[in-house]
Structure 1
């Protein structure tokens, strides 16, 4: 069985963990090495047992601790070529035998987990996220995209579990303290998905097997857990989904990992 935890999610740092009996994968390392070690301790795991790190893109809230933990624990890192190039100078020297290319739009097997990479729309070199397949179960991870295309929807649809971006409330962002240049970037097609757009996209991809949806990458300044959950739930109810019965919505946190859960 496949298990997972959203170790940390938000504008200050992101890390996601998925395991089977044979494999233990970390997606992104956007916190300090010490913070990542503490997060692993909280779910009863240890970084030394990780078998690979998968990188989504080069922004600091996704790679802050990458170089430190990769060197300390001699962990292999997988990223596409453009992301590797963009990370030069940001993660320090990584030994060649720990560097692997994972092309966007491909599938790579890690033990019994087939990991499918797919491109998203974000202001990074070549951002991509992942779908994890194991023994008929499907776990879809997608944040850091300005919109959700039909191609993305086809890739992630009918997952058992979604970890899905619900970054901001549009009115909070518009009325907030950010400079207009940053607001415009967040609202753009290469920015982040709002609560409303997250719900509309989820309505198109939720399937009969969907049991859990984790709202992720919430902005600390332009969103609140309760607001994100309420907005997404209401829009899904309006689309005649039985939220709380058919599937359950879960919060994520920038500092507290979610419980290890089965897919």
Structure 2
């Protein structure tokens, strides 16, 4: 398996996954042209993408989904609530490109097992994913207001985990956002802060997770350096020294990661 966050942040999200000889996107939160450029940057043609897996219908995750389906006839996987709530700006997704799944029920795509699991976020129905192929497991959990035991179990044993570290609480509270937006972000259906991400990773480390990418950082309420330093401090305080950590970038791809 190979995985690469193409862009990750409050302004747009998309990641590339290659598994069992097939190529996928997880979310498509940019224009079709921009997605093509991002894929070109890692040596992948957009025409070789076999499917898109959508986490939820917010525009920073689905802006390019309609174009991918209409122009390149790429199948789009999402649950029924997500399809129904897609913003008008996405445009029509051809029916023959729609692949509707039930959250928390595993299915197979191209030699890979996929488990979408419900996630606490203020969308029609947000999901995270675990992907299983080549005896490896990748999990993706972004846009999550909190992490409970059920989500920890979904991510347990992942060879690589992409997890949200959206904001620093002090930056958010001192920043210019209106009070209702701050409350939404801080809620249990909002976004995960750096500190809570670190606390979750302490537990996940004990559940077999050793390699992590922090993602979905807020441009206004976080920095890559702060996210990493905060999470690492929480890990050190708990005696966790061997967790491999990096931070996804808001505007360009990370180097592709081999999940071996």
Question: Shorter-chain TM-score: what band?
Answer: over 0.9
5+ long unaligned stretches in structure 2 = none
SS at match of 1:5: strand
C-alpha contact 1:23 1:110 (8 A) present in aligned 2? no
Corresponding position of 1:247: 243
Report the TM-score, using the length of structure 2 for normalisation.
Answer: 0.96
Deviant stretches of 4+, over 3 Å: 207-211
Compute the RMSD of aligned alpha carbons. Answer: 1.2
Q: Give 1:32's aligned residue.
A: 31
1:260 paired to 2:256:
yes
Is the Cα contact below 8 Å between 2:59 and 2:87 reproduced in 1? no
Tell me by how many angstroms 1:89 deviates. Answer: 2.7
TM-score, length basis structure 1: 0.95
1:166-181 equivalence runs, <5 A: 166-181=165-180
CA–CA separation in structure 2 for the residues paired with 1:180 and 1:217: 21
Distance of 1:45 and 1:254 partners within structure 2: 19
Task: Report the CA distance between 1:247 and its aligned residue.
Answer: 2.8
Partner of 1:162: 161
Which residue number corresponds to residue 131 of structure 1? 130
Q: Which residue of 2 aligns with 1:105?
A: 104
Q: Which residue of 2 aligns with 1:122?
A: 121
Q: Using the alignment, how far apart are the partners of 1:139 and 1:206 within structure 2?
A: 15
Give yes or no for contact 1:15–1:30 (8 Å, CA) kept in 2. Answer: yes
What count of residue pairs does the alignment treat as equivalent?
259
Shift of 1:157: 1.1
Per-residue Cα deviation, 1:193-244 (whole angstroms, up to 9, x for no partner): 00000001111112575342111000000001100000000100111111xx
Greater displacement, 13-22 / 141-150: 13-22
- Map 1:88-237 to 2 at 5 A: 89-207=88-206, 210-237=209-236
Q: Distance in 1 between matches of 2:207 and 2:196?
A: 21
